[in-house]
Chain A
């Protein structure tokens, strides 16, 4: 019997963002479906609704034409919907077998039999007795898949499964998925990687900003057309007025490499770029492709080879963030609440985090509270933060005001280079505009910006030059005028241009 899964008019609204806007989709077993989209397109919300993690505000789900009510992940399991998340839900110190029986009430022996049958059938070889922490990422994923297969699922949902896999593991995964599909399991594959969609799937649904853009057969699509749909065609919006270019080089990154021991971090490979004075370099990419690592290396939280980063021709690769500030660099990290500021501390204390010698915040080891407060008042008024109470705890600022405070803190010292990472993430339109204007103003003052962002609109609006980071590698650097949505989408999805 064929499995039919139907979503009808699904909507989910979060405060300040519409994650799913009236999405209707129909899936049938025997095919592999791709759900394609950028960060924040609404894919993850949709699959969370399908797996019972999130309840929709509106809309209905039908399984084999029967109305399906998913109040919790348990309901999804009961209805034979299996889900493999991007980040594994395994107990690292328990053995593989213990992990597999943990949510089941069948007898150990019958489960062991089932597991062995599954492993034989799909050619998996995993030692059931070793602890999960000794497994590679690919093996862990197989454990997650086995956990779904034990329940004979009718539907299997895979959320960005290849993000932690090697090339070889990806090939293995694809052949397993094709085998599952041929056995009648309906497969929904969530990704932003265009090549994978082309080589694995039969049909593709593209989402953008919460809406369903198109549903089509892979046979009718090309990698370029998909890229266009994913990034959106009406991207040629306001661009910065280009001015005469300065040729004075400010920062130069050469042969920068980074190897991480953490499998969820991305290695960086041979990064090279330079930024001139008064210029904004945009670095695009789907999140998780090495942006966070690159930011930390540029800010000095991760130390690199000394000569790999040169500012005004002086090597600064092994300086820490505080020392780099003395070279007139400033940093605005992605995570406002956990990194850029401490919510439990007062506003003026948070301002003191950006401290360098000439600011005189700390004099002979003592806190110069008067000086810090004066400076803070100036930031609050210059950057129109909606309070003038420097003693207020930062947690009471809205996201937009906190971000203004952070950008203000970094900029009021008039640095030569500001490095920011997703500076407008989660902000409302007014705050976004303010931050954008500020960043443009910096460039007009002959100061430079490196803008790492997952928001392509923002990058096209603010950058003079753009490149894309994909799997820790940087694409060639293009002038923003020459960039099209198609090119950007292709590069972000791992394709190649020219």
Chain B
């Protein structure tokens, strides 16, 4: 009966620095494994990694593209952090983004041949409300019928994508568009102002930054944030303290839906300028990785969104210069999440080796 017994025990305390260092460890491990994959595919690993992570941002245009892609990721991830902190698993940000895009796009199309300062605010508002309403569906089903929000929010993604498909092919398709699956171009008053001539980066980045600041304030300084924190740690304690659990669930879903909706608005009124089938390269799903990589912390999320945005850009560059399929970007995103979860496991638990001797009682 001699032997070693492995036991996994929870750590008593997690140091704050390690808590924020593990995401960096995850990124390093991703880079190493990425290099290995490139090597196996017959590329020089260092060169490939350079094309993936350095070339895309070694000029002003490249850097502005990075910010452009990081904007929606950051916005959605901030919204999701409200949900995830209170143990509500909203997986459907992509759907809320799409629906927000549909509603705001509809408003923009109403004004397609008009100009006016009031148009953009209306469009932005419509997008936020659209995302919010769409996120309330899984929330209300959860609070009133005990459905699982993961399934409902995820399935609603496909509903909204098919709805968008139907609209751009059918009723909203551009009458002068030769039956292409897209709507008219929005008027200039419905577009986000471009920040620098010749670059695509637009005013949406300010919305994202404002959201970061507001959410930091709400999380750490308000009663609402305190209630969310308590509910996230222990629903039993929240109940004992007398917090309204159901309202809290509805609220975090509304916040997160509104953020996703705003991200949708930024895309269609920014770089795209109309509605078509592909308004988001799965930003809503990728933002889940961003939220966790940023430790659900507003500042952390800013950095995480930049890192993950780089995988989008890198994939495109690598495709152009090295003929590596651009889906490698998703491989990198997947690896980041994988390594993050793996290192988290070691963060929260430690492995103990217990020796057992023969005559021990």
Contacts and interface: CB of A to CB of B under 8 A. Distances in A.
A345 B237 CA distance: 12
A365 B240 contact: no
B241 A355 contact: yes
Given A339-B236, A395-B12, A365 B222 contact: yes
Given A325-B242, A395-B13, A57 B361 contact: yes
Contacts, number: 67
Contacts of A354: 241
A354 B236 CA distance: 14
B226 A342 contact: no
A117 interface: no
Contacts of B225: 367
B4 interface: no
Nearest to B361: A55
B33 interface: no
B223 A299 contact: no
A358 to B, nearest CB: 15
A338 B235 CA distance: 9
Interface in B234-249: 234, 236-237, 239-244
A340 B240 contact: yes
A342 B242 contact: no
Contacts of B242: 300, 320-325
Contacts of A71: 1
B215 to A, nearest CB: 15
Given A55-B361, A344-B233, A345-B233, A301 B226 contact: no
A333 B240 contact: yes
Contacts of B144: none
Nearest to B223: A362
B230 interface: yes
A342 B230 CA distance: 8
A353 B230 contact: yes
Nearest to B236: A339
B221 A367 contact: yes
B223 A301 contact: no
B224 interface: yes
B226 A367 contact: yes
Of A56, A323, A342, the most chain B CB neighbours within 10 A belong to A342
Contacts of A300: 242
Interface string B1-16: 1000000000011000
Contacts of A299: 240
Given A56-B361, A365-B223, 16 more contacts: A57-B361, A71-B1, A300-B242, A301-B240, A320-B242, A320-B244, A321-B240, A338-B237, A339-B234, A339-B240, A345-B233, A353-B240, A355-B241, A365-B224, A366-B222, A393-B13
30 contacts: A55-B361, A57-B361, A58-B361, A71-B1, A301-B239, A301-B240, A320-B244, A321-B239, A322-B241, A322-B242, A322-B243, A335-B236, A338-B236, A338-B237, A339-B236, A340-B237, A341-B237, A342-B233, A342-B234, A342-B237, A345-B229, A345-B230, A353-B230, A353-B240, A353-B241, A355-B241, A365-B223, A366-B223, A367-B223, A395-B13
Interface of A: 55-58, 71, 299-301, 320-325, 331, 333, 335, 338-342, 344-345, 349, 352-355, 362, 365-367, 393, 395
When A and B form their complex, which 4 residue pairs have the shortest distance between CB atoms, in order from nearest?
A322-B242, A321-B242, A362-B223, A320-B242
Interface of B: 1, 12-13, 221-226, 229-230, 233-234, 236-237, 239-244, 361
